[in-house]
Amino acid sequence: MKALLVYPRFPDTYWSFRYALSFQGKRAAQPPLGLMTVAALLPASWDKRLIDTNVERLKDSDLAWADVVLLSGMHVQHENLVSIVRRCRAQGVRTVVGGPIASSLSAAELEADHIVIGEAEGILAGLAADLEIGCARPIYQAAERPSLDRTPVPDFSLIRMERYSTMTVQYSRGCPFNCEFCDIIEIYGRRPRIKLIPQVLAEFDQLYSLGWRGPVFIVDDNFIGNKARVRDLLVALAVWQGEHRYPFRLITEASLNLSDDSDLLQAMKEAGFASVFLGIETPDESSLAAANKHQNTRRDLLSSIAVIQSYSIEVMGGFILGFDTDRDDIFDRLVDFIQKSAIPIAMVGLLQAMPGTQLHRRLTREGRILHAGGGNNTGCELNFLPRMNPHRLVEGYRSVLRRIYSREAYYERVRAYLQRCRPHYQARINLANVRALILSILRLGVLDRARLSYWKFLFLAATRYRRSFGAAMTMAVMGYHFRIVTEQISRAEV
């Protein structure tokens, strides 16, 4: 069998980092880890190719080569996924769709010949055998959430690493919390399942042997969901990183209660963690409580963030507008909070009622769901009727984005981040980073109409924060991306 694994294109959003990646000549932030894991689960006798349409074009000749096309993606990729499925049908190629999107949308909406609902470890062998003899069923559904000790090392040989800015590793699935708006806990459960330490180290070994040096995102739903076990992993990672002279700068996602554990923070620092993404959501405690985000309540949010930053770990934050309890002052309060937090990468989105979530079920009962939505929470589309006037909500959202990603506000947050975190990593001297620096000077220091802000920031980074110059320049080009996307959102029709 010839299996073509295809990853649909993401729309341009804050999360795509498209305009920042162009400085380094990169085409996408991360490779499709799920499809590389699926490839490793397929029979060794099969021929396999992987096309990530975020970095290369899917050609008709690719489809003509394949006996079956396997696609995976998230809700936000629905439109592009279906267009690929239709191309396959036009050429008479069978299609299999899995991944998170298969758990949130119906088979009719996905249009594929075969749908895989749930995690692949317990399903794929049977599906592959049925495909080989031509009797595959329309729908395959996992009977249980599998133990991750069955998960193979992903097949990174199927991609060209130089096209991506960051490599990815998964240690666990699931999150112990119960946020109303979250689809993660619905798909992967509230009991975190973890890989064995040798499995994780084997993935690090593979990346290292393939020549990767740089950022590695541990893409867990909540890296500290099982604190007891993650401590052992961190000790092993610190040893591995030390033996290999710290080739990887680690990034992950976690919950804000990370700030309560100084030993865990120190272990993360020693293992080489430089950044963590936190779902902070809102400074309004009544909204946090109403959304079941209790892990963020009964604490000083700004102090918790500052504790994490004090371990030289950058905090990236996720924020949401559109909760039922939001009042008219939430927009000013959120801008003020983000500025005080020293979080440069502040991902603010409108609340989305994702299919399958507790929020979607509640709003359905209340007759407030408009449609399934597109899965992009950083656009201006609402898929439910909010309590606040919808026009006021969208315009308030736009005003928040314009204010936090103005040059002055953004550079002020970056300066505060450099002061608090003192990131000590330096960008490696290679062609991509030299190119990025030159382009940043040209685009932001010469061609930009507000270039004075850039030169002030560059001078500050080169004098006061010399040891953090690489981090400072990374943030500068990130700001360029955020400004472009903010301008697009401001112009978009609602």
Strands 167-169 and 214-218: parallel
Do residue 252 and residue 301 come from a single domain? Answer: yes
Strands 172-173 and 193-194: antiparallel
Distances (CA, A) of 494 to 368, 470, 487, 490: 18, 39, 14, 10
Do residue 54 and residue 197 come from a single domain? Answer: no
Predicted pLDDT of residue 375: 83
Distances (CA, A) of 251 to 217, 218, 239, 367, 389: 5, 6, 17, 40, 38
0.85 surpassed by pTM: yes
Do residue 404 and residue 434 come from a single domain? Answer: no
Do residue 348 and residue 483 come from a single domain? Answer: no
Predicted pLDDT of residue 82: 98
Least confident range from 9-23, 292-306, 389-403, 424-438: namely 424-438
User: Which candidate, 449, 444, 447, 450, places its Cα nearest to that of 458?
Assistant: 444
Give, to the nearest 10 degrees, the angle between helix 227-243 and helix 197-209. Answer: 30
3-50: per-residue pLDDT in tens?
A: 999 999 999 999 999 999 999 999 999 999 999 999 999 999 999 999
> What is the average pLDDT score of the chain?
96
Residue 483, both tokens: 């400004």
98-110: per-residue pLDDT in tens?
A: 999 999 899 999 9
Q: Look up the CATH number of the domain holding residue 28.
A: 3.40.50
Q: What percent of the chain has pLDDT over 70?
A: 99
Query: Is residue 431 pLDDT above 80, yes or no?
Result: no
Do residue 164 and residue 283 come from a single domain? Answer: yes
Q: What is the mean pLDDT of residues 386-404?
A: 98
Predicted pLDDT of residue 234: 98
Predicted pLDDT of residue 426: 58
Do residue 113 and residue 76 come from a single domain? Answer: yes
- For residue 306, what is the enclosing H or E element? helix 301-309
Query: 379: pLDDT confidence band, cut at 50, 70 and 90?
Result: confident
Predicted pLDDT of residue 427: 57
Q: Look up the CATH number of the domain holding residue 370.
A: 3.80.30.20
Do residue 409 and residue 431 come from a single domain? Answer: no
Which one-letter DSSP state was computed for residue 201? H
127-144: per-residue pLDDT in tens?
A: 999 999 999 999 999 999
Last residue of a domain, one of 80, 112, 141: 141
Do residue 99 and residue 159 come from a single domain? Answer: no
User: Which residues, including other chains, have CB under 8 Å from residue 415's CB and lie 6 or more apart?
Assistant: 457, 460
Query: Is residue 280 pLDDT above 60, yes or no?
Result: yes
> How far, in Å, CA of 152 to CA of 37, rounded?
7
Do residue 321 and residue 434 come from a single domain? Answer: no
355, exposed or middle or buried, with CB in 10 Å at 0-12, 13-18, 19+?
A: buried
Last residue of a domain, one of 85, 107, 141: 141
Question: By residue range, what is the domain housing residue 190?
Answer: 148-377+384-417
- For residue 320, what is the enclosing H or E element? strand 314-321
Q: How many domains does the chain have?
A: 3
Do residue 23 and residue 160 come from a single domain? Answer: no
Give residue 57's region: left, alpha or beta (phi > 0; psi -120 to 50).
Answer: beta
Do residue 430 and residue 404 come from a single domain? Answer: no
Query: Is residue 153 pLDDT above 60, yes or no?
Result: yes
Do residue 316 and residue 431 come from a single domain? Answer: no
Last residue of a domain, one of 141, 168, 194: 141
Predicted pLDDT of residue 449: 87
Predicted pLDDT of residue 425: 61
Q: DSSP assignment of 381-423, as one string?
A: --SB--SS-HHHHHHHHHHHHHHHTSHHHHHHHHHHHHHHH--
Query: Is residue 170 pLDDT above 60, yes or no?
Result: yes
> How far, in Å, CA of 488 to CA of 462, rounded?
32
171-220: per-residue pLDDT in tens?
A: 999 999 999 999 999 999 999 999 999 999 999 999 999 999 999 999 99
Q: DSSP assignment of 221-289, as one string?
A: S-TTSSHHHHHHHHHHHHHHHHHTT--EEEEEEE-GGGGG-HHHHHHHHHHTEEEEEEEEE-S-HHHHH
